[in-house]
């Protein structure tokens, strides 16, 4: 027997063999059984979903000599004649190729003649293609149909069918087949046909079928003929991988592979577009993806890697290529150019390309941040436990507790503080215990910090305090320590972490702290209550969200951390904070506490001196100084709150301040703050009374105004 395409060999011959259209065939079968068949049907739906096959089965059923509940027997003479295409009871007209009125007239004439069987079925395929005249001729017949005739009008586009025709028919909508149904169908066919087909080949055919049983079977035929799973599939996958990896060579290699295996660039482009579309769907509406599971996951993974913006852009580019291909002198080049554009957005200045690059950057940034956090967190966690024992001694240098401690400091009993009188020396006092420190590190929760603090401060041992003192001092931001002439050697490094700092700084801090704590742990194994541990753990956990840049409620400068508490302890009206403390707290602790307008103004300034107990803040120019003067009370209020004592502020002008890029530049770690632009911070430029002419003449020395403007 000559080769017969699978889709023809496995064309459904009975109602029950029609896949995925149960709603249609059940109605038709019942109509046949009950002898209630309408005189005209309209079958609409995508191609390859069984419209024509169903019409033929209907013809069989209407002529079968051995009907079973509306189902044709398939063995009687009329049934076999219909199946063989020799039955006079079935007349087909393809309106796509015979759309003229003549063809329809001819059809109608025959319809009015006698009948060979019981009922004649006229099938008009692609009925929406009929010309107007033909449609009207058909309409006339539909209005007064001969009794022995049934019209089946099939169309892929029911909206283009004359409404008057539609309204005279019973309309059935055929649907695309789901991937699982199609897979099952292909497996059955393959098994029945004795084909050895790999699961991947079935998947590939299902994908190409895209919901159409006929297309899927054709694809299966093709795959079987080419001896295995579609190479085109593999090459399309390769192209998409290339897009994901932004690997131009790989994408083009995929195209070359496909073309080498004989694929037409057009079909490759269409396949790429279909693949990308599935990817987009898997991101936006996963339920709509009709793919076998394995392929579905693959596509979804690729889509995630590409990201929506890149996906849309790729889809557009390939879609454009598909449109341009029919007229392209060399279709392959057109496709390749499209792929290069997609893989090299830097070579494309279209907004979409730029958007995609942005998205790509964002994703990379996210990944890096996540990676960084993950890299540091284990360290943090481990040390935290180790630190537990270290409790009291703990003052790990690294810790830049100020943040956390600060919260606790106010509550610390004076007694505990060693030398309240001496703020600078004070550093040690409160800061002490390991636990507090650990709590402090996270910078978050003041509560946990407090608990730990008490025990140590309570009395533990002078030694502990002392130790703490040394440790804390350094950490208190190298600055304070140094200024106070503290030895505090170790601290240096850890303190490095600027109080503020962005995530990076935060991470550094954590690392430093962790390291410090570990050291301590080794040094002093002792007591360590659980509470601190919990606190530290909790704190550690809390840290990430706590986002270092803006210290919690009441940020406190590293240096200040200690002193303030000391002050609280007893020293009323203590000496003003020194310049180092002021500078240390300025950008990270004080500025953020100001209202946005004030912050904008003051951020241009910098503390340059402490004179007679007043902090001298230099501003780049007189205008800014005047503006800041208005807000001076607010600044003093914040400073007083922060340092725990009144801090008078004097404003001066120092142009070099501006040149340095604003007062916030006290520490390099504060770069983030400088980038930050708050619209509220913007102030109007001074008014300019000059006219445009004035300014023009000024700008062009020697220019003269010749006439009235």
Site residues for Zn ion per CB under 5 A: 64, 66, 72-73, 76, 79
Name residue, tokens 């509306």: 70
Instruction: Determine what percent of the chain falls in helix, strand and coil, rounding each to the nearest 5.
Output: 60, 5, 30
Between 76 and 373, name the residue whose CB sits nearer to Zn ion.
76
Name residue, tokens 């002529």: 63
Q: Mutual orientation of helices 213-225 and 199-209 as an angle, nearest 10°?
A: 140
Between 61 and 309, name the residue whose CB sits nearer to Zn ion.
61
| Neighbour count for residue 101 (Cβ, 10 Å) | 16
Between 89 and 453, name the residue whose CB sits nearer to Zn ion.
89
Between 55 and 521, name the residue whose CB sits nearer to Zn ion.
55
In whole angstroms, the minimum distance from the beta carbon of 63 to Zn ion comes to 7
In whole angstroms, the minimum distance from the beta carbon of 119 to Zn ion comes to 13
Between 79 and 412, name the residue whose CB sits nearer to Zn ion.
79
In whole angstroms, the minimum distance from the beta carbon of 61 to Zn ion comes to 8
Q: Kindly calculate the radius of gyration of the chain based on its CA atoms and give it in whole angstroms.
A: 41
* Greatest CA separation for the chain: 122
Between 73 and 162, name the residue whose CB sits nearer to Zn ion.
73
Between 59 and 628, name the residue whose CB sits nearer to Zn ion.
59
Q: Is 665 helix (H, G, I), strand (E, B) or coil?
A: helix
In whole angstroms, the minimum distance from the beta carbon of 185 to Zn ion comes to 24
The C-alpha atoms of residue 463 and residue 526 are separated, in whole angstroms, by 14
Q: Are 649 and 619 in contact (CB under 8 A)?
A: no
How would DSSP label each residue in 483-536?
A: HTT---TTTHHHHTS-SS--HHHHHHHHHHHHHHHHHHHHH------HHHHHHH
In whole angstroms, the minimum distance from the beta carbon of 66 to Zn ion comes to 5
Between 71 and 571, name the residue whose CB sits nearer to Zn ion.
71
- How remote is the C-alpha of 268 from its chain's centroid? 28
Between 73 and 340, name the residue whose CB sits nearer to Zn ion.
73
The C-alpha atoms of residue 616 and residue 582 are separated, in whole angstroms, by 10
Between 16 and 695, name the residue whose CB sits nearer to Zn ion.
16
In whole angstroms, the minimum distance from the beta carbon of 75 to Zn ion comes to 6
Q: Are 176 and 144 in contact (CB under 8 A)?
A: no
In whole angstroms, the minimum distance from the beta carbon of 153 to Zn ion comes to 25
In whole angstroms, the minimum distance from the beta carbon of 86 to Zn ion comes to 15
In whole angstroms, the minimum distance from the beta carbon of 65 to Zn ion comes to 5
In whole angstroms, the minimum distance from the beta carbon of 168 to Zn ion comes to 29
The C-alpha atoms of residue 522 and residue 500 are separated, in whole angstroms, by 29
- Joined together, the tokens standing for residue 91 give 């007349």
Q: Are 587 and 432 in contact (CB under 8 A)?
A: no
In whole angstroms, the minimum distance from the beta carbon of 140 to Zn ion comes to 33
Between 64 and 318, name the residue whose CB sits nearer to Zn ion.
64
The C-alpha atoms of residue 616 and residue 607 are separated, in whole angstroms, by 6
Q: Which residues touch 113 (CB under 8 Å, ≥6 apart)?
A: none
In whole angstroms, the minimum distance from the beta carbon of 80 to Zn ion comes to 8
Q: Which residues touch 588 (CB under 8 Å, ≥6 apart)?
A: 498, 499, 500, 501, 551, 555, 557, 667, 669, 670, 673
Question: Would you put residue 152 in left (φ > 0), alpha (ψ -120 to 50) or beta?
Answer: beta
Q: Is the dihedral of CA 125, 130, 136, 137 positive or negative?
A: negative
Sheet holding 120-125, edge to edge: 90-94, 120-125, 149-155, 40-44, 170-173
Closest CA to 426 of 645, 604, 623: 645
Between 75 and 361, name the residue whose CB sits nearer to Zn ion.
75
Q: Which residues touch 222 (CB under 8 Å, ≥6 apart)?
A: 230
Phi, psi for residue 685 in degrees, rounded to 5: -70, 155
Between 66 and 173, name the residue whose CB sits nearer to Zn ion.
66
The C-alpha atoms of residue 643 and residue 563 are separated, in whole angstroms, by 8
Between 78 and 430, name the residue whose CB sits nearer to Zn ion.
78
In whole angstroms, the minimum distance from the beta carbon of 60 to Zn ion comes to 6
Q: Is 401 helix (H, G, I), strand (E, B) or coil?
A: coil
In whole angstroms, the minimum distance from the beta carbon of 64 to Zn ion comes to 3
Q: Are 308 and 280 in contact (CB under 8 A)?
A: yes
The C-alpha atoms of residue 375 and residue 507 are separated, in whole angstroms, by 10
Between 79 and 574, name the residue whose CB sits nearer to Zn ion.
79
Name residue, tokens 């051995």: 66
Separation in Å, CA 6 to CA 50, 218, 695: 14, 7, 84
Between 118 and 140, name the residue whose CB sits nearer to Zn ion.
118
In whole angstroms, the minimum distance from the beta carbon of 47 to Zn ion comes to 28
Torsion (CA) 122, 127, 132, 134 in degrees, nearest 10 = -20
In whole angstroms, the minimum distance from the beta carbon of 116 to Zn ion comes to 15
């Amino acid at each position: 027997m000559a080769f017969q395409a699978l889709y023809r060999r496995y064309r459904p011959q009975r109602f029950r063999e029609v896949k995925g259209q149960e709603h249609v065939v059940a109605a038709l079968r019942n109509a046949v059984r009950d002898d209630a068949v309408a005189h005209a049907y309209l079958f609409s739906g995508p191609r390859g979903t069984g419209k024509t096959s169903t019409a033929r089965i209907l013809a069989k059923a209407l002529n079968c000599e051995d009907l079973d509940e509306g189902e044709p027997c398939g063995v009687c003479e009329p049934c076999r004649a219909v199946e063989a295409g020799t039955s006079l009871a079935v007349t087909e007209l393809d309106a796509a190729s015979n759309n003229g009125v003549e063809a329809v007239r001819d059809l109608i004439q025959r319809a009015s003649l006698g009948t060979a069987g019981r009922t004649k079925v006229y099938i008009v395929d692609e009925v929406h293609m009929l010309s107007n005249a033909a449609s009207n001729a058909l309409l006339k017949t539909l209005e007064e149909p001969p009794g022995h005739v049934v019209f089946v009008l099939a169309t892929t586009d029911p909206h283009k069918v004359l409404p008057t025709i539609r309204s005279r028919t019973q309309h059935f909508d055929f649907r695309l087949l789901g991937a699982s149904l199609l897979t099952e169908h292909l497996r059955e066919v393959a098994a029945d046909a004795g084909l050895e087909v790999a699961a991947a080949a079935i998947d590939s055919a299902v994908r190409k079928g895209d919901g159409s049983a006929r297309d899927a079977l054709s694809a299966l035929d093709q795959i079987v003929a080419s001896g295995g799973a579609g190479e085109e599939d593999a090459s399309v996958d390769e192209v998409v991988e290339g897009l994901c990896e932004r690997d131009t060579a790989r994408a083009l290699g995929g195209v070359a592979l496909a073309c080498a295996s004989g694929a037409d660039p057009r079909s490759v482009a269409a396949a790429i577009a279909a693949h990308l579309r599935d990817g987009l769907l898997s991101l936006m509406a996963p339920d709509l993806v009709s793919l076998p599971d394995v392929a579905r996951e693959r596509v979804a993974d690729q889509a995630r890697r590409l990201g929506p913006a890149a996906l849309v852009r790729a889809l557009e580019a390939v879609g454009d290529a598909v449109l341009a291909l029919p007229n392209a002198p060399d279709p392959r080049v057109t496709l390749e150019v499209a792929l290069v554009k997609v893989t090299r957005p830097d070579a494309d200045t279209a907004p979409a390309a730029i958007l995609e690059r942005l998205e790509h950057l964002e994703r990379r940034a996210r990944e890096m941040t996540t990676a960084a956090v993950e890299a540091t967190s284990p360290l943090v966690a481990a040390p935290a436990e180790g630190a537990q024992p270290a409790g009291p001694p703990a003052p790990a240098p690294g810790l830049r507790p100020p943040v956390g401690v600060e919260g606790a400091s106010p509550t610390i009993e004076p007694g505990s503080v060693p030398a309240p009188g001496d703020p600078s020396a004070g550093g040690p006092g409160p800061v002490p215990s390991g636990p507090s420190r650990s709590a402090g590190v996270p910078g978050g929760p003041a509560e946990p910090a407090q608990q730990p603090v008490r025990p140590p401060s309570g009395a533990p041992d002078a030694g502990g305090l002392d130790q703490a003192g040394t440790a804390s001092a350094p950490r208190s931001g190298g600055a304070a320590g140094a200024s106070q002439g503290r030895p505090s050697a170790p601290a240096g490094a850890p303190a490095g972490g600027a109080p503020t700092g962005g995530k990076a700084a935060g991470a550094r801090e954590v690392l430093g702290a962790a390291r410090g704590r570990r050291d301590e742990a080794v040094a002093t194994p002792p007591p360590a209550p659980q509470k601190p541990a919990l606190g530290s753990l909790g704190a550690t956990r809390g840290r990430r969200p706590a986002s270092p840049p803006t210290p919690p409620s009441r940020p406190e400068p590293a240096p200040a951390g200690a002193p303030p508490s000391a002050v609280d302890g007893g020293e009323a009206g203590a000496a003003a904070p020194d310049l180092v403390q002021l500078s240390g707290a300025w950008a990270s602790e004080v500025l953020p506490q100001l209202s946005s307008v004030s912050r904008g103004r003051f951020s241009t300034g910098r503390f340059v001196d402490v004179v007679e107990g007043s902090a001298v803040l230099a501003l780049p120019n007189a205008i800014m100084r005047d503006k800041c003067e208005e807000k001076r009370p607010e600044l003093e209020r914040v400073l007083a709150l922060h340092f725990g004592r009144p801090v008078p502020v004097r404003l001066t002008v120092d142009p070099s301040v501006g040149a340095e890029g604003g007062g916030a530049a006290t520490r390099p770690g504060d770069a983030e703050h400088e980038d930050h632009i708050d619209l509220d911070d913007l102030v109007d430029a001074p008014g300019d009374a000059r006219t445009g002419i004035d300014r023009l003449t000024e700008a062009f020395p020697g220019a003269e105004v010749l006439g009235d403007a």
